Chain A
Amino acid sequence: MTELQLIKVGMADLNATNEDRILRTTGLGSCVGLTLFDPLHKVAGLAHIMLPSSSIAREGQLNKAKYADTAIPELIDRMLQLGANKGRLEAKLAGGAQMFSFNTGNDMMKIGPRNVDSCKEILAQLHIPIRSEDTGGNYGRTIEISNDTGMLTVKSVNKGIKEI
Chain B
Amino acid sequence: MSLFNQLDDLKFDVLREVGNIGAGHAATALSKLLDKPVDMKVPQVRIVEFEEIPESVGGAEEVVIAVFLRVIGDAPGNLFFLLSRDSALSLLSKMVGLEHIPSDEDWFDLNEIQISAIQEIGNILAGSYLSSLADFTQLDMSPTVPSMTIDMAGAILSYGIMQFGAMGEHAVLIDTSFYDGTDRVEGHFFLIPDPESFEKIFSALGVPHE
Contacts and interface: CB of A to CB of B under 8 A. Distances in A.
B13 interface: no
A141 B61 CA distance: 9
Interface string B141-169: 00011010111111110110011011111
B72 to A, nearest CB: 6
A159 to B, nearest CB: 10
Given A26-B60, A108-B162, A138-B149, A97 B155 contact: yes
A60 B162 CA distance: 17
Interface in A22-50: 26-31, 50
B136 interface: no
B166 A57 contact: yes
Secondary structure call for the A interface: loop
B50 A12 contact: yes
B193 interface: no
B68 interface: yes
A63 B54 contact: no
Q: Size class of A's contact patch?
A: 35 or more
Contact of A99 (B53, B108, B151, B163): B151
Contacts of B70: 102, 104, 106, 109
Central interface residue in A100, A109, A139, by most chain B CB within 10 Å: A100
Contact of B145 (A56, A102, A106, A138): A102
Given A11-B50, A157-B108, A158-B108, A26 B152 contact: yes
Central interface residue in B68, B76, B150, B155, by most chain A CB within 10 Å: B155
A29 B158 contact: yes
B166 A56 contact: yes
B127 to A, nearest CB: 15
B150 A157 contact: yes
A100 B147 contact: yes
Interface string A118-158: 00000000000000000000111110000000000000011
Interface of B: 1, 50-51, 53-54, 60-61, 63, 68, 70, 72, 76, 108, 144-145, 147, 149-156, 158-159, 162-163, 165-169
Interface of A: 10-13, 26-31, 50-51, 56-60, 63, 66, 97, 99-104, 106, 108-109, 111, 138-142, 157-158
